[in-house]
Chain A
Amino acid sequence: MYELTRSLAAFRPELALLIGLLLVVVADTFAGWGRQLMTRLLTIVSLAAAFGFALELSAAGTRGPLFSGMLVIDPLGAALKLILVAAGLVTVLAFSFRNSRELHGLGHGELFTLVLALVFSCLLLAGASDIVMLYLALEMVSITSYVMVGYLKGDRLSNEASLKYVLFGAASTGSMLYGLSLLYGLTGTTSLRGIQEYLAGGIPDANRFAVYALTLLVLAGFGFKIAAVPFHFWCPDVYQGAPTPVTALLSVLPKAAGLAIALRFFYGAFSVPERGPWDLAGSIDWTALLMLVSVLTMTLGNVAALTQTNMKRLLAYSSIAHAGFLLMGIVALSENGARGLLVYLAAYLVMNVGAFLVVTLVHLHEGSFDLRDYPGLHRRAPLLTLAMSFFLLSLVGIPPFVGFLAKLYVFSAVIEQGQGAYATIAAVNAAVAAYYYFKVLKVMIIDPGNEAKPALELARVDQLRLAALALANVVPLFFWDWIEGWARGALVLYAGR
């Protein structure tokens, strides 16, 4: 009984989302003009409540297993939950059914239910400490995102995107499940802690290949969520076909949750307690494998983005490239690596959602996602262009913006581990990425065209959203001591002892 109440107390962020979800479903059944406002308000309130609870858990430094070891709460998990809930909150606040042309006239309640379910399942994934829970949470994230991508029912692009997503998703989570079943067979337990105890005892030579193979299979599931090469094929198509607000949400949430569970899986199951939590078992070179995945991911993402003219596709490839940079935090296999991951995820949230907001607003007024319709925007929409330049420069990683600090953290973590060559490849990649981000800016500011078209009449609330997100890319720098302290305090991973 005591265990249950203690678990529920540490489960408050998720409970807030769950209650919000049920209330949204109920509110959506009432007719009348207030229904749409009501569902939106309930969603925002429950996300804000979840954020508050996550903040409380993060500040209190609660740690320990929940619900008989199915989930686990620790400062790192709480910090990741904070970022996940913030991602949901920022997206819901930044986008509305009014400023997205694709969502005009569609049902509010269903989408908000799905948003809350997605955030909820991402929180579960970030805290999973049992492979049954891990699989269930991963599938819940997947299934909600399939439905969200196909939200525009009569739209061929949206339908095709969700079809590709569901097939890639089912195939990669199926492979992951097969890997997990072998892991269970090998270790005789489903809890990550039990697996860790087995592996820490030394892997018999006969089983070394099995451990390697099944970890590759499990990585397929994580790689699919992160959109890491070679499991990225769905990403550009899904990002292009899905409604843009959903794309913005999907570019942050499942990626963050996937990285969280990858971190937890490697550190939770493969760490050797006697050698400290950051030393992995198995005498298998996990670092080299993850490094290879990371290098391939950032290179392919950047090179493919160079030739894109559809803004949503361009941002999709850019998000693949960022997944490569985010993986640097895991490759470093150190406390500083995990801190880099946290900072990078928080920065990636504000810059990426901002870029997608600009794309949505241009689509609202121009009806196009094509870069060829962007010339002359600096004259017709100065605020929008200014905000976009903030987001793009932050994505490049130019000093006064948060994107720079994010890159600084992951790069320094990697260099600290003596992986200089890897850092060099990543730096070259960052330079390549600068080309296509600057190309978008050049088209918006320098290229001639659209001289005769009237100025874009942005709604007051949209201007406010743009300004807020643009400031979010600069202002954190003035509070860096506080953020640094928060990230440092969050570096405790409960390994289950």
Chain B
Amino acid sequence: MIGLQHYLVLSAGLFALGVLGLLTRRNAVNVLMSIELILNSANVNLVAFSRYASGNLGGQVFAVFVIVVAAAEVAVALAIVLTLYRLRRTPNLDDASILKG
């Protein structure tokens, strides 16, 4: 029987994978995918809590909003990465290193 715990473990795993990807990946597109993992781990949480624990639909509505915001955020982020590629011919984040100190 699949219950709340299973979803929470899944979501914690997704969150951990996302953070790991964020810290280790150097390609900007991969980093954006890791961020999607983090956002979706929260979505799994929200929907699971809504179904099993809270007894209201607030969590599911929240999840829909998160999906919309994630799409907007990724659209902006991809546009910025695309500009990076146009200016430097690379999607590698380590090459974006003029600003430091």
Please report A residues at the B interface, Cβ cutoff 8 Å: 131-132, 135-136, 139, 142-143, 146-147, 150, 153-154, 156-157, 159-164, 166-167, 170-171, 174-175, 177-178, 180-182, 184-185, 188-190, 236-237, 240-241, 308, 310, 313
Q: Does chain A have a CB within 8 A of B2?
A: no
The one of B28, B72, B83, B93 in contact with A150, judged by C-beta atoms closer than 8 angstroms, is B83
Within the assembled complex, what's the spacing in Å between the Cα atoms of A161 and B97? Answer: 10
The one of B15, B22, B61 in contact with A132, judged by C-beta atoms closer than 8 angstroms, is B61
B96 touches A163 (CB 8 A): yes
Q: Does chain A have a CB within 8 A of B84?
A: yes
**Chain B residues with CB below 8 A from A182, complex form:** 45
- Chain B's closest residue to A155 (CB) is B87
B45 touches A164 (CB 8 A): no
Q: Does chain A have a CB within 8 A of B58?
A: yes
Q: Does chain A have a CB within 8 A of B1?
A: no
CB distance from A133 to the nearest CB of B (A): 9
A189 touches B58 (CB 8 A): yes
Q: Does chain A have a CB within 8 A of B42?
A: yes
A135 touches B46 (CB 8 A): no
B45 touches A181 (CB 8 A): yes
B58 touches A190 (CB 8 A): yes
CB distance from A269 to the nearest CB of B (A): 15
The one of A160, A181, A313 in contact with B84, judged by C-beta atoms closer than 8 angstroms, is A160
User: Could you say which of B42, B45, B48, B84 has the most chain A C-beta atoms within 10 Å of its C-beta?
Assistant: B42
**Chain B residues with CB below 8 A from A131, complex form:** 62
**Chain B residues with CB below 8 A from A236, complex form:** 99, 101
A174 touches B38 (CB 8 A): yes
A135 touches B66 (CB 8 A): yes
**Chain B residues with CB below 8 A from A189, complex form:** 54, 56, 58
CB distance from A139 to the nearest CB of B (A): 5
**Chain B residues with CB below 8 A from A153, complex form:** 83
- Chain A's closest residue to B68 (CB) is A136
A185 touches B54 (CB 8 A): yes
**Chain B residues with CB below 8 A from A175, complex form:** 38
The one of B49, B61, B83 in contact with A159, judged by C-beta atoms closer than 8 angstroms, is B83
The one of A160, A177, A178 in contact with B96, judged by C-beta atoms closer than 8 angstroms, is A160
Interchain residue pairs A-B with the least CB separation, the first 8: A188-B54, A185-B49, A174-B38, A181-B45, A237-B99, A181-B42, A177-B42, A170-B35
The one of B65, B69, B99 in contact with A157, judged by C-beta atoms closer than 8 angstroms, is B99
Q: What range describes how many residues of B lie at the interface?
A: 35 or more
Q: Does chain A have a CB within 8 A of B88?
A: yes
A157 touches B101 (CB 8 A): no
User: Could you say which of B39, B41, B56, B83 has the most chain A C-beta atoms within 10 Å of its C-beta?
Assistant: B83
Q: Does chain A have a CB within 8 A of B77?
A: yes
The one of A156, A167, A174, A184 in contact with B62, judged by C-beta atoms closer than 8 angstroms, is A184
Q: Does chain A have a CB within 8 A of B76?
A: yes
B98 touches A157 (CB 8 A): yes
Within the assembled complex, what's the spacing in Å between the Cα atoms of A15 and B90? Answer: 43
CB distance from A121 to the nearest CB of B (A): 12
The one of B41, B45, B87, B101 in contact with A310, judged by C-beta atoms closer than 8 angstroms, is B101
CB distance from A302 to the nearest CB of B (A): 16
Q: Does chain A have a CB within 8 A of B80?
A: yes
B53 touches A171 (CB 8 A): no
CB distance from A440 to the nearest CB of B (A): 17
The one of B38, B54, B61, B97 in contact with A171, judged by C-beta atoms closer than 8 angstroms, is B38
- Chain B's closest residue to A133 (CB) is B65
User: What are 15 A-B pairs at a CB distance below 8 A?
Assistant: A143-B76, A146-B76, A146-B77, A153-B83, A154-B87, A159-B96, A160-B96, A162-B80, A167-B31, A170-B77, A174-B39, A184-B54, A184-B62, A188-B55, A190-B59
Within the assembled complex, what's the spacing in Å between the Cα atoms of A147 and B11? Answer: 30
- Chain A's closest residue to B35 (CB) is A170
Chain B 66-94, CB-CB to A under 8 Å as 1, else 0, gives 10010011001100110110011000010
- Chain A's closest residue to B54 (CB) is A188
- Chain A's closest residue to B49 (CB) is A185
Within the assembled complex, what's the spacing in Å between the Cα atoms of A236 and B99? Answer: 9
- Chain B's closest residue to A156 (CB) is B87
Within the assembled complex, what's the spacing in Å between the Cα atoms of A201 and B45? Answer: 24
- Chain B's closest residue to A188 (CB) is B54
The one of B31, B58, B73 in contact with A139, judged by C-beta atoms closer than 8 angstroms, is B73
Within the assembled complex, what's the spacing in Å between the Cα atoms of A135 and B68? Answer: 12
**Chain A residues with CB below 8 A from B66, complex form:** 135, 177
CB distance from B71 to the nearest CB of A (A): 11
A143 touches B38 (CB 8 A): no
The one of A154, A162, A177, A310 in contact with B39, judged by C-beta atoms closer than 8 angstroms, is A177
- Given A159-B80, A175-B38, 20 further pairs, Cβ under 8 A: A135-B65, A143-B76, A150-B83, A154-B87, A156-B88, A159-B84, A163-B81, A166-B73, A171-B38, A177-B38, A177-B39, A177-B66, A178-B38, A178-B45, A180-B42, A181-B59, A182-B45, A185-B59, A188-B53, A236-B99
B59 touches A240 (CB 8 A): no
